[in-house]
Structure 1
Amino acid sequence: MLKAHAEVSALARIGDPWHVTACSDALQAPIVVNAAGAWTDQVGQRLKRNPLGWYPNGAPR
């Protein structure tokens, strides 16, 4: 399933599937792709991943 233009409000791996809440929809998926573009680091923080150094508008905060 592809869900475009959907802000993720919750993301957790419980067992094998990922449990995702996006735009009030509860979803499960074996794989989640972070395609947030310049906001990739913000989404990655929810997964406790190291930042890549990408910033919206090209400027660090």
Structure 2
Amino acid sequence: MWGTPDQCIEFFERYEEMGVEQVFLLSAIGPAKHEEVMNTLTMFGKHVIPHFKAKENAGNR
């Protein structure tokens, strides 16, 4: 999986529709530099996780 935050959200939403509730991410594979890995984790935390957290919170209302 790679791409923009929106592309990642779309990717995970497809799995969510199939009933997948948990994923395991490996972000430090291959020749990626530390800065690239940290940028990936930061973007994921700022954009992707909040999208699904908001959906989860909306479902609990």
* Greater per-residue helix proportion: 2
Normalised by the length of structure 2, the TM-score is 0.31
* Greater per-residue strand proportion: 1
Normalised by the length of structure 1, the TM-score is 0.31
